[in-house]
Amino acid sequence: MSVTPPQPPFKRVPPHTWTALAWLVGSALTFLFRFRLPGEAQPAQQGVIFFRWDGMVMLAVTTALAFEGSRRLHRSPLAGLVLILLAAAGASTPLSVAEIPLLQFVAADVAVYVIAATRPRRTGIAALAMALGTLTGYLLTRLAFGWVVGTSAELTVALTAVVAWLLGDASHQSRLHAEQLREQAAARAVTAERLRIARELHDMVAHSIGIIALQSGAARRVIGTQPERARGALGEIETASRETLSGLRRMLGALRTPEPGRARETAPLDPGLGLADVDRLAQTTTAAGVRVDVRWLGELRPVPPEIDVSAYRIIQEAVTNVVRHAGTRSCRVTVDRRDDELTIEVLDGGPGNEAAADGGAGAVRSTAVDAPGYGLLGMRERVGLLHGEFSARPRPEGGFRVAARLPVPADVR
């Protein structure tokens, strides 16, 4: 079902229809002003030729020109404007006036607005120049024949053309700006999706490879003396490998280009992982040779999916770092669910090789295996996206501490 709201009724009307309506309204008012309305001593406008047959014929011809010009605005905007300007100039002849009246020029103003709003700026400027040129040419022609000229009224009409162009150009620039914002938002969404996929890949693959390396080393050492234990380690390697392969397939499926005409479906890369899987993670890591003690504090209540997945990934990455870098046989994971926040702490007492590489904000454990420290940077980024707090630093008494505080939205508490 489409979520795009319907356009307002006036935006559904084609632009050329507005031009034709403007001409009809101007003609109707011109006709009405030829009569004495209630409260007036005489008609607001007078014209002897207006009600004669030749005046009516001229009005019919100019109306046909205006309608044809309105019809051509979509395909050939400047050609359509020429016809509307000719209609405005021709309609003034049976009115006994010294200038092109505003009512006859309203349709041209609407056409200038439409062209400025929907076409490139140079086309809009050309339309404005044509409108002002028509008014100037009309006055110069009357001056050349020695006729009376309504310069003041014509300047007012010219001002309306300039205002129409300004409004149309502003609408055009606003639409361009909105398109640029949409493109930037789409680019940011793509970048965010790539970063999310990169984080998921790193967290999943790094943890699995760490477990595989630990189990394979154990199997190699005991394969000659304890074949059953070696067989169990190989089974754990097979399970971890299959889970990693399955996760990679899901991610590659999410990256596939959708079929033409079909929207891309978005879904969590691994929606089954969350705090409920922490105990299974601890069991797997313990079976691999590093004991993980999990402590649950507070009341275990549901949290939003993004917090649930991020909390699990932070614990997983921290435990993976212990397995790969800490040089210890145990660690402790504490998860505290409070009313307004979820706190995570992972402690180990190992002598792992550590180097300060976080600009004073914390120490990032790094070795030759994981020199850039992408794991801790990824955890910090996850916490930052959820507006939480993160720290990773050596402990004064030895070992390493990873801590994260994730605020829980008020509507979930």
Q: How many CB atoms lie within 10 A of CB 71?
A: 17
Q: Which residues contact 377 (CB under 8 A, 6 or more apart)?
A: 364
| H-run or E-run covering 26 | helix 15-32
pLDDT tens digit string along 77-95?
Answer: 999 999 999 999 888 877 7
Residues 407 and 299 reside in one and the same domain = yes
Phi-psi domain of 298 (left: phi exceeds 0; alpha: psi -120 through 50; beta: other)? left
Q: Of 127, 154, 183, which closes a domain?
A: 183
Residues 27 and 169 reside in one and the same domain = yes
pLDDT tens digit string along 95-128?
Answer: 777 788 888 899 999 999 999 999 999 999 999 9
Would 212 be classed as within a structural domain? no
pLDDT higher than 50, residue 259: no
| Phi, psi torsion values for 407, nearest 5 degrees | -70, 140
Q: Which residues does residue 48 pair with via DSSP β-bridges, in sequence order? A: none
Q: What angle do CA 69, 20, 71 make, to 5 degrees?
A: 35
Q: How confident is the model at residue 371 (pLDDT cuts 50, 70, 90)?
A: very low
Residues 398 and 280 reside in one and the same domain = yes
Q: Which residues does residue 345 pair with via DSSP β-bridges, in sequence order? A: 334, 403
Residues 16 and 118 reside in one and the same domain = yes
Average pLDDT, the chain: 77
Q: How many CB atoms lie within 10 A of CB 292?
A: 23
Would 306 be classed as within a structural domain? yes
Residues 284 and 166 reside in one and the same domain = no
pLDDT tens digit string along 342-358?
Answer: 999 999 987 764 433 33
Report the number of distinct structural domains present in the chain.
2
Give me the domain span that covers residue 133: 9-183
- CATH number (domain holding residue 360): 3.30.565.10
266 SS3 class: coil
Q: From CA 390, how far away is CA 318, in angstroms rounded?
A: 12
Would 216 be classed as within a structural domain? no
Q: Of 183, 214, 246, which closes a domain?
A: 183
Q: Which token pair is 143? A: 């001056």
